[in-house]
Structure 1
Amino acid sequence: MRRSFMGRSSSALHLALAGDVLVAAVKFAGAAATGSSALFSEGVHSTVDAVSEILLLYGLWVGKRPSTSEHQLGFGREVFFWNFIVAMTILAVGAGVALLDGIHQILRASVIESPLISYGVLLLALLAEIPAMISVSRGVHTKRGKTGFVHFLRMSRDPTMLTVLFGGASGILGILIAAIGTFLTTMTGSSMWDGVASVMIAMILGTTALFLAATSKKLLIGVTAAPSTVSSILEITTDCPDVEMANGAITVHLAPDQILVALSVAFRPALTTQEIEVAVAAIDRAVRAAHPSVVVFLLKPQSEAQFETLRGYRGW
């Protein structure tokens, strides 16, 4: 079974990983020098992001393995599984540590030392986040075409891209919140604001993790191909001269760029078995040529009446 996982997602992951490893070290050094809880939480944030990117790269790698007699549809869903593990890591480690440290900072009386160091670290972190965000944003722009941004995100079957996108966005938002917390703590002399910033960073991480977990769960259970893809496949099938009607299709994503298609087709009654086989082969070639993501194509000759009866039993 042929594989073609997203090179752009992989490139964005490598870029984000390099940036997060460097930034995490700088943030922890800054937190040690200033005593800032928000900066420490941001260090945890970057560390969790780096670990997440390693897991995602591993998921992309193992998902490329060829199919076997035991796993006949391949290993593409490894990508979905490891994205779910990443979401749980962000929730348990990232959000949990940031929340606990933020509460501890609120309850203790201390002032951030050398706030200029904090600002410098946060500026470096912001500059490091930008390249990965630009890379993944370009990928999103290319893939979504004229589709609305929100609709594209809702219909996306690529959790790796969503993880990098939302991870970068939450990282930038966390940096801004940490800067505001540092400013308010410096101006008021109260560490409460630094702790509040840390708690807010925890909430951002938790929200991001829950969204990514829900997306990965949906993909693991199985989701259909995009409606435009299904419509195109039915149209290609209908164009075959030996086809009376393309009744409908059942589709499911095996990976972000791998689709299984099961098609119900009503052929002309006069066709022989050999002629039907030739027509099926022609439809198969045409569909795969138009949609290389179709890696498994199944076609069932079936009358329209029988198809409607079975659809009635399914309820959709």
Structure 2
Amino acid sequence: MAESKVAIYGAIGANVAIAATKFVVAGVTGSSAMLSEGIHSAVDTFNGILLLVGLRLSKRPATVEHPFGHGKELYFWSLIVAVLIFGLGGGVSFYEGIQHIRHPEPMRDPTWNYIVLAAAALFEGVSFAIALREFRAQSRGMPFWQALDRSKDPTTYTVLAEDSAALVGLAVAALGIYFSHSLDMPALDGVASVVIGVLLAGVAVFLISQARGLLIGEGIRPETARAIRSMAMEQPSVENVGHVLSMYIGPDEVLVIVDVNFKDDTPTGDAADAIAAIEKQVRARFPMIKRIFVEASDAPAADTPAVP
């Protein structure tokens, strides 16, 4: 989780460095797109702080009220971050763009806009590179889009998504400012602001969908459940395997319950040895499965569908 903090600190540093500058230049030049970018950077800064809060709270030890710990705290705060991106980042940028389209004002000297956008692109690029490096380290060579879909660490993929949106948003803002000034069409600056708002809303929807699945009890993938079932079936005393119930209770912590049906003549000692062997093999192959419970079942389970 230390790697996740590195990505967050990098993002906060980049956003603090450019948010104030964007607001100042937006006031000087009257650019709607630059104002939207300033809002974007300010929201991203606050979001980074919220992710650090989530990281800290998720590390609290288990209690009687929360026997499995507080790992899901991080998912809650990542949801709050996604909502803020949608409402403050996307909503305010969209509103500002519409207002500028309805009441366009000629842009003053855009030179400072370009200087700030270039500096912002540099800072955001560094932050993106840090987040991408940490994400690739966690993905262990998995294809990028597959790793993004399977990632359960919102601190890394949230920063990665924010920085990606920021870089695209900077390009949109630059184009809006350029065409608005060169074509003497102030409304195009507002159009750029609207596009930035839609972009942020799209990123927010993706993050909300990720957080939702984890908050309501997302489990391991079907292929992982099948692998656990196969390992259990390798034990000579196991007749069949039923449900494989699972749930992520933190970015790198999974709870798994396996229903195992032993042969009728299996001694209690052999069943205990088989259970211990199953637990050891599963933990060795899937380190994120920190808690595994193997339950002996009397009911036949050969036709029981797998529950990932």
**TM-score normalised by the chain length of structure 2:** 0.92
Hey, what's the Cα distance between the residues in 1 that align with 2:61 and 2:49?
22
The residue correspondences of 1:58-137 to structure 2 (distance < 5 A) are 58-137=53-132
Q: CA deviation at 1:249?
A: 1.3
Hey, what's the Cα distance between the residues in 1 that align with 2:225 and 2:143?
19
Structure 2 residue aligned with 1:3: none
Structure 2 residue aligned with 1:162: 157
Structure 2 residue aligned with 1:19: 14
| The one of 114, 139, 145 aligned to 1:144 | 139
The residue identity in structure 1 corresponding to 2:225 is V
CA deviation map 1:180-211 (0-9, x unaligned): 01101110222101111111111111111111
| The one of 290, 307, 310 aligned to 2:301 | 307
CA deviation map 1:256-299 (0-9, x unaligned): 21101011223343322233223323322332233231122111
Whether 1:46 and 2:41 are equivalent positions in the alignment is: yes
| The one of 280, 283, 296 aligned to 2:291 | 296
Contact 2:90 2:198 in 1 (8 A): yes
Whether 1:243 and 2:247 are equivalent positions in the alignment is: no
Q: Judge which range, 114-123 or 269-278, deviates more.
A: 269-278
Q: CA deviation at 1:90?
A: 0.9
Equivalences, count: 308
1:14/1:113 Cα in 2 relative to 1: closer, same or farther (>3 Å)?
A: same
Q: Judge which range, 267-276 or 201-210, deviates more.
A: 267-276
Q: CA deviation at 1:248?
A: 4.5
1:315/1:109 Cα in 2 relative to 1: closer, same or farther (>3 Å)?
A: closer
1:227/1:143 Cα in 2 relative to 1: closer, same or farther (>3 Å)?
A: farther
Q: CA deviation at 1:85?
A: 0.6
Hey, what's the Cα distance between the residues in 2 that align with 1:108 and 1:293?
55
The residue identity in structure 1 corresponding to 2:207 is L
Q: CA deviation at 1:244?
A: 3.9
Structure 1 residue aligned with 2:282: 287
Hey, what's the Cα distance between the residues in 1 that align with 2:262 and 2:197?
58
| The one of 195, 209, 213 aligned to 1:200 | 195
Whether 1:220 and 2:215 are equivalent positions in the alignment is: yes
Hey, what's the Cα distance between the residues in 2 that align with 1:53 and 1:236?
41
Hey, what's the Cα distance between the residues in 2 that align with 1:25 and 1:192?
24
Hey, what's the Cα distance between the residues in 2 that align with 1:258 and 1:315?
18
Q: Judge which range, 215-224 or 148-157, deviates more.
A: 148-157
The residue correspondences of 1:228-239 to structure 2 (distance < 5 A) are 228-239=223-234
Structure 2 residue aligned with 1:28: 23
1:8/1:235 Cα in 2 relative to 1: closer, same or farther (>3 Å)?
A: farther
1:201/1:14 Cα in 2 relative to 1: closer, same or farther (>3 Å)?
A: same
Whether 1:184 and 2:179 are equivalent positions in the alignment is: yes
Cα RMSD, aligned residues only: 2.2
**TM-score normalised by the chain length of structure 1:** 0.90
Hey, what's the Cα distance between the residues in 2 that align with 1:27 and 1:36?
10
Q: CA deviation at 1:146?
A: 5.0
The residue identity in structure 2 corresponding to 1:219 is L
Give 3-state SS (helix, strand or coil) of 1:265's partner. Answer: strand
Q: CA deviation at 1:161?
A: 2.1
Q: Unaligned stretches of 5+ in structure 2? A: none
Give 3-state SS (helix, strand or coil) of 1:162's partner. Answer: helix
Q: CA deviation at 1:241?
A: 4.3
Hey, what's the Cα distance between the residues in 2 that align with 1:234 and 1:155?
21
Structure 2 residue aligned with 1:267: 262
The residue identity in structure 2 corresponding to 1:206 is A
1:99/1:13 Cα in 2 relative to 1: closer, same or farther (>3 Å)?
A: same
Hey, what's the Cα distance between the residues in 1 that align with 2:136 and 2:48?
21
Contact 2:244 2:307 in 1 (8 A): no
Contact 1:98 1:199 in 2 (8 A): yes
Q: Percent identity?
A: 35
Q: CA deviation at 1:160?
A: 2.5
